[in-house]
Chains A and B, each alone.
Chain A
Amino acid sequence: RKEVEQDPGPFNVPEGATVAFNCTYSNSASQSFFWYRQDCRKEPKLLMSVYSSGNEDGRFTAQLNRASQYISLLIRDSKLSDSATYLCVVNKYSTLTFGKGTMLLVSP
């Protein structure tokens, strides 16, 4: 089983749609969790950290289920500018392990 698994997509959605990304990780000792965003030919940038209690930042909601080793990201009211690859990231002892990412394409 891969350390961090994501559906590669692409997810094609119209503007205004709600889209959900899922991620599973294999190492139960993982300590912290993140979603990064990577635009085409650019470096990854932190989108948000993920907590067991769930956290929300505007249109973005992240959730962690430690028992199931499952992480999710929900984007509401998607914008054209949300088009990017979303990377699920797991941290253990300061070493980040990245999923391959899920590509999102938002169309007018």
Chain B
Amino acid sequence: GAGVSQSPSNKVTEKGKDVELRCDPISGHTALYWYRQSLGQGLEFLIYFQGNSAPDKSGLPSDRFSAERTGGSVSTLTIQRTQQEDSAVYLCASGGDGDTQYFGPGTRLTVL
């Protein structure tokens, strides 16, 4: 079946601009996660959605970052007033009943 998809695959933007990253989880998965991975670094947790519960936003690095999940499916991660340190690969993962998370291919964000 279809896996997790993300768009765009690459995004180059100028410092100060806003960007939106999209994630389509695996159909039927109730859990959705956003992570980011900077060059040579491990994955950093950003935010977690589970069903209709309030999201766990504890990993968001600043108030410039926000995410929403519409209809319990597609999610959008928004970064406002981008900074150069926001450059990273942003990975989305979804999960079903168990603990396993399935990752999308990521969006490579470059802030000039």
Of B45, B102, B104, the contact of A97 (CB 8 Å cutoff)? B45
Closest-by-CB residue of A relative to B43 is A98
Separation of A34 and B99 alpha carbons in the complex (Å): 9
The answer to whether A95 and B48 touch (CB under 8 A), given A32-B99, A43-B106, A44-B103, is: yes
Q: In chain A, residues 44-89, which have Cβ atoms closer than 8 Å to a Cβ of chain B?
A: 44-46, 49, 87
Given the known inter-chain contacts A95-B56, A100-B42, A101-B42, please indicate yes or no for A46 contacting B100, CB distance below 8 A: yes
User: How many of A's residues come within 8 Å of B, CB to CB?
Assistant: 20
Interchain CB contact (< 8 A) of A95 among B45, B91, B103, B105 = B45
- Asked whether any CB of chain A lies closer than 8 Å to the CB of B65, the reply is no
Asked if A87 contacts B99 (CB within 8 A), the reply is no
B83 at the interface (CB under 8 A from A): no
Taking each of A42, A97, A98, which has the highest tally of chain B beta carbons within 10 Å of its own beta carbon? Answer: A98
The answer to whether B91 touches A96 (Cβ under 8 A) is no
Closest to B44 in A: A98
Which residues on the B side are within 8 Å of A101 (C-beta)? 42
A45 proximity list for chain B (CB < 8 A): 103
- Contact flag A42-B101 (CB < 8 Å), given A95-B48, A96-B33, A98-B42: no
Tell me, in angstroms, the Cα distance from A12 to B33 when the chains sit together: 33
Per the bound structure, the CA–CA distance linking A48 and B17 in Å amounts to 40
Once the chains bind, are B41 and A43 in contact (CB under 8 Å)? no
Q: Is B31 an interface residue (CB 8 A)?
A: yes
User: A46, A49, A94, A100: which contacts B41 (Cβ < 8 A)?
Assistant: A100
Taken residue by residue from 93 to 112, chain B's Cβ proximity to chain A (1 for < 8 Å, 0 otherwise) reads as 00100011111111000000
Given A4-B42, A44-B91, A45-B103, 11 extra CB contacts under 8 A = A34-B99, A43-B104, A43-B106, A94-B31, A94-B48, A94-B99, A95-B45, A95-B48, A98-B43, A100-B42, A101-B42
Query: Which A residues are within 8 Å of any B CB, using their own CB?
Result: 4, 31-32, 34, 42-46, 49, 87, 91, 94-101
